[in-house]
Structure 1
Amino acid sequence: MTQALISIDYTFDFVADEGKLTAGPPAQAIAATIAQVTKSAYERGDFIFFAIDAHEGGDSYHPESKLFPPHNLKGSKGRELYGPLADFYEEHKDSERLFWLDKRHYSAFSGTDLDIRLRERKVDTVILTGVLTDICVLHTAIDAYNLGYQIQVIEPAVASLSPENHQFALKHLQNVLGAVIIETI
């Protein structure tokens, strides 16, 4: 079994109090855990992918422009990783096992070469962390499921805007997509 951890949108705009589309305290509460499980996955030899929203300012054609305020704009502080995860990235960013992917839609697979990179490395299991559980994490899991990957979600390393949305997504991930919900690596 070859695994890859996918860290989804754990950025300033989604986590910090001043973020443009912040999940606030629930997302901030996972800062230490998301950094620790990422470090553990890296130390055991897993591939690490940072799948980060990359939006253009003023793009009225993007479907999210009708749903959410502008966020994670290219070149903005909003796209910077948040908390100790940023330190981990800076320390390891030149590694052959660490990748940064700009994504335009909810799923880390949509419009990126993630599937190609995973298949090149013979990855069969994706481990999901990040925000928001019910949006980008869930949509990434749906695409992973449709592409035939095994899915694990580290429950204390994902967060959403509300406990209800978080719980709905975890149940959907487990009961509909067959994801294994785990506590740690």
Structure 2
Amino acid sequence: MNKALISIDYTVDFVADDGKLTAGAPAQAISETIAQVTEEAFKQGAYVFFAIDGHDLDDTFHPESKLFPPHNIMGTTGRHLYGPLANFFKDYQSDARVFWMDKRHYSAFSGTDLDIRLRERGVDTVILTGVLTDICVLHTAIDAYNLGYQIQVVESAVASLTVENHQFALNHFKYVLGATLVDEKLNKIKD
């Protein structure tokens, strides 16, 4: 079984107090855990994909421009990884198992070559972390399900704006997509 951890949108704009579309405290609370989970999955041999939202400032055609303020604008510090996860990327970005992938939509699969890259590497299981549980993580999970991947969501390494939205998404992962919810120690991720 080959695995890939997909770290979704854990950036300054989505996490920092002054982020352009911040989830604030709930997202900040997972800062240490998301870095530890990423490091542990990498040590266990998983590929690591950073699927990061990227928008153009003046793109009025993108559907999100009508829903949210400008965020994760290409070339800005808002797209930088937040907290200790940034250190992981800095330390391992040149490793052949670590990838940075720009995305324009909620799902890491939409409009990207993520599926192709995973299949080239024989990946059959994706481990999801990041923000927001009920938006980008959920949409990525739905696409992974539709593409036939096994899905693991690290419950303590995803966050949303509200407890209700977070719990809705966790229930959807488990009961609708058949995903496995795992803890930060990755006990259930080991083969």
Query: Which TM class, normalised by the smaller chain length?
Result: over 0.9
* 1:99 alignment counterpart: 99
SS of the residue corresponding to residue 123 of structure 2 reads coil
TM-superposition CA deviations, 1:150-185 (whole Å, max 9, x none): 000000000000000000000011110001011121
Q: What displacement does 1:62 show?
A: 0.1
* 2:5 alignment counterpart: 5
Mark the runs of 5 or more structure 2 residues left unpaired by the alignment: 187-191
SS of the residue corresponding to residue 105 of structure 1 reads coil
* 1:137 alignment counterpart: 137
TM-score, normalisation: structure 1: 0.99
**Residue identity in the other structure for 2:168:** F
* 1:17 alignment counterpart: 17
Q: How does 1:74-93 map to 2 (within 5 A)?
A: 74-93=74-93
Number of positions where the alignment pairs a residue of Structure 1 with one of Structure 2: 185
Q: How does 1:51-70 map to 2 (within 5 A)?
A: 51-70=51-70
* 1:29 alignment counterpart: 29
SS of the residue corresponding to residue 35 of structure 1 reads helix
Match status 1:159 vs 2:136: no
Q: What displacement does 1:58 show?
A: 1.3
Question: Within 2, Cα distance between the matches of 1:162 and 1:119?
Answer: 34
Question: Within 1, Cα distance between the matches of 2:42 and 2:181?
Answer: 19
SS of the residue corresponding to residue 27 of structure 2 reads helix
* 2:122 alignment counterpart: 122
Question: Within 1, Cα distance between the matches of 2:12 and 2:157?
Answer: 16
SS of the residue corresponding to residue 69 of structure 1 reads coil
**Residue identity in the other structure for 1:61:** F
Question: Within 1, Cα distance between the matches of 2:167 and 2:21?
Answer: 20
Question: Within 1, Cα distance between the matches of 2:182 and 2:69?
Answer: 32
**Residue identity in the other structure for 2:114:** L
4+ residue runs over 6 A deviation: none
Question: Within 1, Cα distance between the matches of 2:161 and 2:59?
Answer: 24
Identity %: 72
* 2:146 alignment counterpart: 146
Question: Within 2, Cα distance between the matches of 1:104 and 1:84?
Answer: 24
Mark the runs of 5 or more structure 1 residues left unpaired by the alignment: none
* 2:48 alignment counterpart: 48
**Residue identity in the other structure for 1:169:** A
Question: Within 1, Cα distance between the matches of 2:21 and 2:163?
Answer: 17
**Residue identity in the other structure for 1:60:** T
